[in-house]
Structure 1
Amino acid sequence: MSSPESPDPGNSRPSPVDKLGEFGRIDRYFKPLATGFPGARGLADDAAVFGVPPDQELVVTTDAMVAGVHFFPDDAPGDIAAKLLRTNLSDLAAMGAVPYAYTLVTALPRTVGEDWLAAFAAGLGEDQARFGIGLAGGDSVSTSGPITLSVTAFGLVPKGRALPRWGGRPGDSVFVTGCVGDAALGLQVAFGKIAVADEAARGRLLARLRRPDPRTTVGPRLVGLATACLDVSDGLVADLGHLCEESGCAAVLDSAAVPLSIAARAVVGSDPARLALALTGGDDYELLFTAPDEARPALAALAAGTGVPITAIGRLEEGSAGDVRVVGADGTPLALPARGWEHF
């Protein structure tokens, strides 16, 4: 995503944090985040040291965020921290992995002050406790460009059981967790391009943009049920296309079955352009997966047990690899201006 011109993050000015230097920052803000992970060695060494249980494999993912592309420069530091960590946790969930540890790289302008950094670290600490993950190390540098942040997250999955993108087969049903479209609509609300009078609905859309919900309780329990899986970051249609490309098949997507929140439904209404935005806008971080029909009872039990809705929205079929037909309630194909987000 991109954002309009904004002031320095938090309207910050150089402050006493700048006198701390690199190691002072690490001691004050990041060492406390590493206390719960022994492999971090108190951030006293050049690298972390940890092992993997013999019946497990390590899943590794890296995501970066840049101010003005992935978040607004004046977003709250706690929201930025949450989105940074949660997008990586979503990747782990899509592989069926349980969160284990992460490393963090921060490239911050010198104008970023102590209040910003303290709130950012506090946001990380809150989500570490919520999702059961610890800081293992990283790096901190200054930059003359925008705030740039990167997390490498590690997860554990039973050996040989990581969920792939390539396992889907014609006849498998397509499922998605939670709701789709809130973040894309929320971005338009943030830009002022969509007006939402209902404050609760507006807050819901913006919250889903700023703090996605990684499905860490669902992903690991899809092992043995799902044939293919990934998370929805580029847009529902585009990401289903990615899954189909890797699985060597096509898909039909029933737009009427796609779950939208109450807030999103109110905004979309009968507007085909807004429906297209919900289907292609991205930043949902829901799990999109395929499974045979015999898995439906187990999936229903999983949804009930976790409180995370799981909805059937289509089916894989024979056809050109990566082709996705999106149809309306009457089966008529929908014309979409794009399939999803592309960086380049």
Structure 2
Amino acid sequence: MTSSPDKQLDEFSLIRRYFHHDPQPAGQGDTVALGPGDDAAILTPPAGQQLVMTQDTSLEGRHFPADMAAADVGYRCLAVNLSDLAAMGAEPLWFLLSLTLPAVDEAWLADFSRGMFALADSAGITLVGGDITRGPLAVSIQATGSVPLGKALLRSGAGVGDSICLGGVTGAGLHGLHLWQQGLRQGAAIDHFRRPRPQLELGVLLRNRATACIDVSDGVLADLNHVLEASGGVGALLDEASLPLDTAILGDCDHDEQRRLQLQGGDDYLLLFTLPQGEPLPEGCHAIGTIVPQPGIRLMTTAGETRSLSAQGWQHF
């Protein structure tokens, strides 16, 4: 990114120009007493609700490519936070933004804010503060949502006999990254990688229904393992024949690569959840296995064999 010496803006001018976003989502007018512009925001939690808070930092070259369009970076960095709220069954309220820039590039900032606010407005979440500083490009967002008292979805409730379910088809995120690294910029997998869709409505729907929930950010096996550990060390038996496959996305991969992307690929940001026996499966979701007493993750193959799987996925360090 480049700066124009004759148009250099300070932090507060940048915030006023690109991050004062006047429209407030419907129904939130009475929750934001004071937004950006003061030392801190003043917020009023909704009555009878618990607050759910999450924070993610995204680094250029680590969490998004250096040549990704600024609008996609803004959208994507907010989406990963909203996915965490969805996994808790929370409805979005407010978020804070900390942006580190190597230099002032107003065209980049305008596109970044446009992409970020496009998702913020559709999700019903309001930017209430943050800061901008100089350094390697990094985006840190802290998002807050709300759930009715005692109704948050947790990782820790899966029980033996529960169905293991996915909110869609996995594999597109990592495959999209691979295609991007090969120089491609168009296609369904790349679109999913650029702009994942947090499943906020599904998270709310799963309140009082799911026994455990998590979002698939690091891969099905890695994130499922978090649920198993939090639920007292139970295990999982997955059914290979039940794994959903989108041939439009993974049709160019051989069988082994499809399974690797489906089970170990990160960046899908779909909900992985468990349902008790007899609970109807929400529309568009897939049951892929069962919670079992024996610890570990195993796969029943289409050939009728049982294989142990390693709970590996995306590593942040």
Q: TM-score, normalised by structure 2?
A: 0.92
- 1:51-101, Cα deviation, whole Å (9 max, x unpaired): 222311000000110000000011001110111111101000000001111
Gaps of 5+ in 1: 1-11, 304-308
1:96 aligns with 2:89: yes
Contact preservation (8 Å) 2:18, 2:113: yes
Residue 206 and residue 334 in structure 1: after superposition, are their counterparts in 2 closer, same or farther (change >3 A)? Answer: farther
Which range is displaced more, 49-58 or 69-78?
Answer: 49-58
Q: How does 1:112-127 map to 2 (within 5 A)?
A: 112-127=104-119
Partner of 1:327 in structure 2? Answer: 300
Partner of 2:261 in structure 1? Answer: 277
Partner of 1:158 in structure 2? Answer: 148
Percent identity of the aligned residues? 40
CA distance in 1, matches of 2:75, 2:307: 35
Residue 274 and residue 221 in structure 1: after superposition, are their counterparts in 2 closer, same or farther (change >3 A)? Answer: closer
Contact preservation (8 Å) 2:156, 2:231: yes
Partner of 2:120 in structure 1? Answer: 128
Larger helix percent: 1
CA distance in 2, matches of 1:221, 1:160: 15
Q: How does 1:81-230 map to 2 (within 5 A)?
A: 81-110=74-103, 112-143=104-135, 145=136, 147-192=137-182, 203-230=187-214
Q: CA deviation at 1:35?
A: 5.6
Q: CA deviation at 1:221?
A: 1.2
Partner of 1:19 in structure 2? Answer: 8
CA distance in 2, matches of 1:233, 1:324: 18
Residue 273 and residue 133 in structure 1: after superposition, are their counterparts in 2 closer, same or farther (change >3 A)? Answer: same
Contact preservation (8 Å) 1:99, 1:132: yes
Q: CA deviation at 1:33?
A: 5.6
Larger strand percent: 2
CA distance in 1, matches of 2:167, 2:24: 33
The aligned amino acid for 1:291 is L
Residue 46 and residue 35 in structure 1: after superposition, are their counterparts in 2 closer, same or farther (change >3 A)? Answer: farther
- 1:283-333, Cα deviation, whole Å (9 max, x unpaired): 10000000112212xx34xx2xxxxx111000000022xx11123223323
- 1:82-141, Cα deviation, whole Å (9 max, x unpaired): 11111101000000001111000001101x411000000111121121111110111111
Q: TM-score, normalised by structure 1?
A: 0.85
Q: CA deviation at 1:255?
A: 2.6
Aligned length: 312
| Superposition CA RMSD, Å | 2.1
Gaps of 5+ in 2: none
Q: CA deviation at 1:334?
A: 4.6
Partner of 2:241 in structure 1? Answer: 256
Residue 97 and residue 214 in structure 1: after superposition, are their counterparts in 2 closer, same or farther (change >3 A)? Answer: same
